[in-house]
């Protein structure tokens, strides 16, 4: 029997809520914790646990058919991937932040400055739209520490509760985008799997309605 292949975040902030929404859709998945792949018991679906940043490419290549992913990741590296449902969890912002003591009036203050980020395309697009040129330092995690160790003048990263900024003595100065978890679809999904996707979407819509 044909199964639809869904990517969910392997570990991190989306993982639990992604599995919870599938569960609420009545889809039970054996959670072999260290397994990278699992099969649903009562629905034609296989789950692939992947790194967030790899998911757009897996969708593009048709290795998976659908994915639960943050919009922020699609903005950064999956502008060509379509979204079929917004899932109303994992809400966050991608923002610029600078040390609390630094005066900041507008993004123009970042002209010629060093910005540490894991979202280079997002930052570059934003800076370009504002006519600002800055020097990006691409790092993969713990971005907020960069200004404190003299590596950058500012940062661009995900802000959710704001506690990481607070702990690192930074202030959010510009929101580049707002994001939430979404259901995204491979451009190469087959007709047959499209039918399975429609069933999932139908269930997701009622779950989201019931959660309101
Ligand atoms: C994420 C993100 C921010 C933080 C935002 O980091 O990169 O640093 O969460 O959340 P908050 O506003 O609620 O503090 P994460 O803890 O996932 O670690 P990483 O950056 O090392 O990947
Ligand atoms: Mg972080």
- 46 close to 5: Cβ distance less than 8 angstroms: yes
State the average pLDDT over residues 55-78. 98
Q: How high is the pLDDT of residue 30?
A: 79
Using the mean position of ligand 2's atoms as its centre, give its distance from the Cα of residue 164 in Å.
7
For residues 12 and 77, membership in a common domain is answered with yes
Query: What's residue 194's pLDDT?
Result: 98
Give residue 37's domain range. Answer: 4-90+180-211
Which residues, listed in sequence order, are joined to residue 175 by a DSSP beta bridge? 95
Q: What is the CA(68)–ligand 1 centre distance, in A?
A: 19
pLDDT (mean) for 77-104: 97
173 & 187 share domain? no
Average pLDDT over residues 54-79: 98
* 162 C-alpha to ligand 1 centroid (Å): 9
Distance 142 CA to ligand 2 centre (A): 5
User: Is the pLDDT confidence value at 33 over 70?
Assistant: no
Do both 117 and 84 map to the same domain?
no
Q: Are 109 and 166 in a shared domain?
A: yes
> pLDDT value at position 32?
64
3-state SS class at 2: coil
Instruction: Give the HSE-up count for residue 33: Cα atoms under 13 Å, Cβ half-sphere.
Output: 0
Q: Residues 125-174: pLDDT tens digits?
A: 999 999 999 999 999 999 999 999 999 999 999 999 999 999 999 999 99
Whichever domain contains 97, its CATH number is 3.40.190.10
Pocket test for ligand 1, best of 93, 157, 158, 178 (most atoms within 8 A of CB): 158
188 shares its domain with 158: no
Ligand 1 atom 1 nearest Cα: 158
- Ligand 1 lining (C-beta closer than 6 Å): 12-13, 141-142, 144, 157-164
Ligand 1 atom with minimal separation from the 161 CA: 13
Phi first, then psi: give them for residue 41, nearest 5 degrees: -80, -30
- In sequence order, which residues have a C-beta less than 8 Å from that of residue 206 and are 6 or more positions away? none
Asked whether the predicted pLDDT for residue 11 surpasses 70, the reply is yes
Percentage of the chain lying above the pLDDT 90 cut: 95
Say if residue 137 is in the same domain as residue 187.
no
Check whether 34 has a pLDDT greater than 80: no
- How far is Cα of residue 3 from the mean position of the Cα atoms in its chain? 25
Tell me how many domains the chain contains.
2
Structure tokens at 24: 């609420």
Would you say 139 and 117 are in contact if contact means Cβ atoms under 8 Å apart? Answer: yes
| Judgement on whether residues 101 and 78 belong to the same structural domain of the protein | no
> Ligand 1 test: best mutation among 73, 119, 138, 141, most atoms within 8 Å of CB?
141
Whole-model pTM?
0.94
Does 175 lie in the same domain as 119?
yes
Same domain? For 160 and 190 the reply is no
């Amino acid at each position: 029997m044909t199964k639809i292949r869904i990517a969910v975040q392997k570990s991190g902030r989306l993982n639990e809520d992604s599995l919870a929404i599938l569960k609420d859709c009545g889809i039970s998945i054996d959670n072999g914790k260290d397994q990278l792949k699992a099969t649903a018991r009562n629905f034609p679906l296989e789950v692939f646990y992947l790194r967030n940043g790899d998911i757009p490419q897996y969708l593009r290549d048709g290795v998976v058919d659908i994915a639960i992913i943050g919009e922020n990741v699609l903005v950064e590296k999956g502008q060509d991937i379509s979204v079929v449902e917004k899932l109303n969890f994992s809400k966050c912002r991608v923002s610029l932040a600078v040390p609390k003591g630094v005066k900041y009036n507008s993004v123009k203050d970042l002209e010629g400055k060093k910005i540490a980020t894991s979202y280079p395309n997002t930052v570059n697009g934003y800076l370009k739209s504002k006519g600002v040129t800055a020097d990006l330092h691409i790092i993969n995690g713990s971005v907020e520490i960069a200004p404190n160790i003299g590596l950058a003048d500012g940062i661009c990263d995900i802000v959710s509760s704001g506690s990481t900024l607070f702990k690192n003595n930074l202030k959010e100065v510009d929101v580049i985008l707002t994001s939430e978890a979404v259901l995204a679809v491979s451009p190469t999904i087959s007709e047959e799997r499209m039918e399975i996707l429609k069933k999932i979407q139908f269930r997701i819509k009622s779950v989201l309605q019931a959660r309101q």
